[in-house]
Structure 1
Amino acid sequence: MGPRRADDGGAAAMRVGIDARKIADFGIGTYIRGLLTALVDLGDLDYVAFAPADASLPSGVEHVVVDAPHYSVRELFAVGRAADRARLDVFHAPHYVVPFTRVPVVVTIHDLIHLHRRNPLQRMYAKTMIDRAIRKARRVLTVSETVARELACDAVVTPNGIDEVFQPANVPREHFLYVGNDKPHKNVSALVDAFTRVPDAKLVLVGAPFDRFRGRERVDVRGFVSTSELVSLYQRAIALVMPSIEEGFGLPAAEAMACGAPVITSRAAALVEITGDAALHVDDDALDDAMLRVARDETLRATMIAKGLERARNFTWKRCAMLTRDVFRSL
């Protein structure tokens, strides 16, 4: 490894390591890609990414190859040893798994959903790792005020950003849309059941195989799609519907607003926080009525679109990066 770069004032720039092993994933991967790219664009710190050999990283990021299995004891040692060797000033864990390292740690905890898993061993693992992350980290970051309250610690809120490819377009509205995985807390069954009471429409499901819904009348299972196709689906949506029981942020809702799609969500606190008065927030038994209202009321739809576009401007990766960088600098 070469010498540390000097900034404009002649002092060595801070070296920040980031666990980027999940950079190709959905969810946390989206966070890592958006944040790391924006941090590099700010240009005043040096970044070291710990990631598999084939990882695609932003230009200018130093790459240290680490490919330990996720959620394993091995990763705690492998990532920790790599961090200790890299002469870092700060190590950023982008989710609640904090390695064994002597470097000061900043951790991002996106939500506490894993604490509510049905499997007791998974719940125990999540609680152990989250509690340890809060104890070991110099600072805890999270993505919404909702999760900050749940954490009950001195967490810094650094809201997620929206990639700039998510833009509105003047195109026909063709379908209702769901974007996300098919885990129990996403409550997709409630949406599909409610949709049976919404005539003359199509529901598109994106983000998981959704095999259990294949063959349902008027339900179009797309599974995993490219970013360009996702943008088009948002732009052509009568509404995005997110009936989640729990969320830490709800990035699809923010992306949909940026694309000019009306948004219907559950009353989950984080979704209400992120969408504000731009969305309709309803219980499961009112999902069908909300979809019908948005489909039939052009004035309501136009109001939701305008408010959503305005609200989406609050969520940029540059803002997330600036808030995160300020935390790095404070250590």
Structure 2
Amino acid sequence: MTLRIGMVARTLNAPHLRGTGRYIQEVLRNSKAADGVHWTVFANNPALPLRVPADLAGETDVFGFRGDRFELWEQIGLPLHARRAGVQLLHCGENTVPLWQPMPTVVTIHDTVLWEEPRPTRLDYHYLHHVQGLAYRRCSAVITISESSRRDIARRWPFLADRLVVIPHGIADEFFQPATAPLPPALRAVLEDGQGRKPYLLYVGGPQPRKRFGWALDLLASADDSALHLVACGFGAAAAQAAVVPSSLVGRVHFAPFVSDAELVALYQGARVALYPTLYEGFGFPAVEAQAAGTPVLFSPVSSLADLVGPLTWAVPAQDPAAWQVALRDALSLQPTARAERVSAAQRWARSFAWRKTAQMHLDLYRRVLAGDRLN
């Protein structure tokens, strides 16, 4: 029997994909008609592209709905359209769900960061902390992406413990292959000259305080090699302009524009070392992506990252600058033979994070929910 699944995909209905959008896109891309699934993909902005796979096994429904301030698209428009489309199960993959659930509903809560950071308005706070708490009680299942996030969610909402299912993210095949694209033009202009490419570290994170861009700047400043540059990913144009770069590092720090997956692979593979000094992640894509691309990566084994320490990881205490400096020197001085051995081992390890496996685990969960099976 064909599964008729509704997928909420507002994060695909955007100029650029971020982590949650990539997750939804890969689940759709790695589940095919041969799996017995028919998708209806819901999004909310007809003025923007919807980045679904070209061979999507199903259709899209992009519609506006008045009442943005009160989240009425999600609370009324979405369940109405899902019911009209005849979906058997609705999957809300972006942390939040409607209270009205006319069919079995599954939500992916990626982590608890939204609930731990200050909210801009009282209405926003009420929606996340009160409305969503009630809505989660009605969900048939809750997917999360790591054991660390599962523990955090169960502490915040103990009533979800028997409905929580961990399905890890995957890594796209492109990260294991030789780069098929050059660096973005803006970076080629500053990193490449007639004498070749300048050596650079790659910071992957963005401007959020927990990502610790300042930590990466301090590490660059303390590096023995004054010729090293730093490329920073995850910043929009406004955030890049607002970032404070010490005068001593001006000309050595460069902000990447939004990049395609192919350009991101090129950035990883061209970097001497990737820096990922974040203090909390539900699932840390860069920790695995760097290793799949054959690039040493420095991070602290905190939250979900404790499960992502692989053969090309330098795991460093979060608050120990001296340890980070030593780890960077070690990673930069890795000899070619030793590096090749670790790259080979890291890529074998990283292949266990496969989007096809992730998609199959989603389809299995949908079937269990529809059959009324116990989840835990």
Question: Would you say same fold, with TM above 0.5?
Answer: yes
- Are 1:48 and 1:63, in contact at CA under 8 Å, matched by a contact in 2? yes
Alignment of 1:121-200 (within 5 A): 121=122, 125-128=127-130, 130-152=132-154, 153-154=161-162, 155-169=164-178, 174-200=199-225
Please give the alpha-carbon distance, in whole angstroms, between the structure 1 residues aligned to 2:282 and 2:33.
Answer: 26
What percentage of residue pairs aligned between the two structures are identical?
A: 30
1:17 aligned partner: 6
**1:119–1:73 Cα change, 3 Å:** closer
Please give the alpha-carbon distance, in whole angstroms, between the structure 2 residues aligned to 1:97 and 1:314.
Answer: 29
**1:132–1:199 Cα change, 3 Å:** farther
- Are 2:92 and 2:106, in contact at CA under 8 Å, matched by a contact in 1? yes
1:208 aligned partner: 235
Deviates more, 1:131-140 or 1:84-93: 131-140
Q: Deviations over 1:114-164 (max 9, x none)?
A: 122134746654333553353121011111111112222231111111112
Please give the alpha-carbon distance, in whole angstroms, between the structure 2 residues aligned to 1:35 and 1:223.
Answer: 26
3-state SS, counterpart of residue 181 of structure 1: coil
1:118 aligned partner: 118
What are structure 2's unaligned runs of at least 5 residues? 155-160, 183-196, 370-376
- Are 1:141 and 1:156, in contact at CA under 8 Å, matched by a contact in 2? yes
Give the superposition deviation at 1:231: 0.9
1:226 aligns with 2:260: yes
2:24 aligned partner: 32
Deviates more, 1:168-177 or 1:42-51: 168-177
1:314 aligns with 2:352: yes
Q: TM-score, normalized by length of structure 1? A: 0.88
Please give the alpha-carbon distance, in whole angstroms, between the structure 2 residues aligned to 1:311 and 1:208.
Answer: 29
Please give the alpha-carbon distance, in whole angstroms, between the structure 2 residues aligned to 1:49 and 1:254.
Answer: 28
Please give the alpha-carbon distance, in whole angstroms, between the structure 2 residues aligned to 1:71 and 1:27.
Answer: 24
1:84 aligned partner: 83
CA RMSD of aligned residues (A): 2.5
1:323 aligns with 2:361: yes
- Are 1:116 and 1:123, in contact at CA under 8 Å, matched by a contact in 2? no
2:52 aligned partner: 57
3-state SS, counterpart of residue 222 of structure 2: coil
User: Aligned match of 2:313 in 279, 283, 287?
Assistant: 279
**1:281–1:17 Cα change, 3 Å:** same
Q: Deviations over 1:228-282 (max 9, x none)?
A: 2211011112221111110000112221111111111123121121234541221
Please give the alpha-carbon distance, in whole angstroms, between the structure 2 residues aligned to 1:71 and 1:61.
Answer: 30
- Are 1:96 and 1:129, in contact at CA under 8 Å, matched by a contact in 2? no
Alignment of 1:84-103 (within 5 A): 84-99=83-98, 100-103=100-103
Q: TM-score, normalized by length of structure 2? A: 0.78
1:8 aligned partner: none
- Are 2:30 and 2:356, in contact at CA under 8 Å, matched by a contact in 1? yes
Please give the alpha-carbon distance, in whole angstroms, between the structure 1 residues aligned to 2:258 and 2:348.
Answer: 28
Q: Deviations over 1:50-77 (max 9, x none)?
A: 1244413232321112345878522221
Q: Deviations over 1:171-192 (max 9, x none)?
A: 9893211123211111111121
Deviates more, 1:267-276 or 1:152-161: 267-276
3-state SS, counterpart of residue 42 of structure 2: strand
- Are 2:301 and 2:309, in contact at CA under 8 Å, matched by a contact in 1? no
**1:236–1:17 Cα change, 3 Å:** same
- Are 1:168 and 1:235, in contact at CA under 8 Å, matched by a contact in 2? no
**1:202–1:131 Cα change, 3 Å:** same
Please give the alpha-carbon distance, in whole angstroms, between the structure 2 residues aligned to 1:50 and 1:276.
Answer: 37
The one-letter amino acid paired with 1:64 is D
**1:168–1:147 Cα change, 3 Å:** same
Deviates more, 1:228-237 or 1:207-216: 207-216
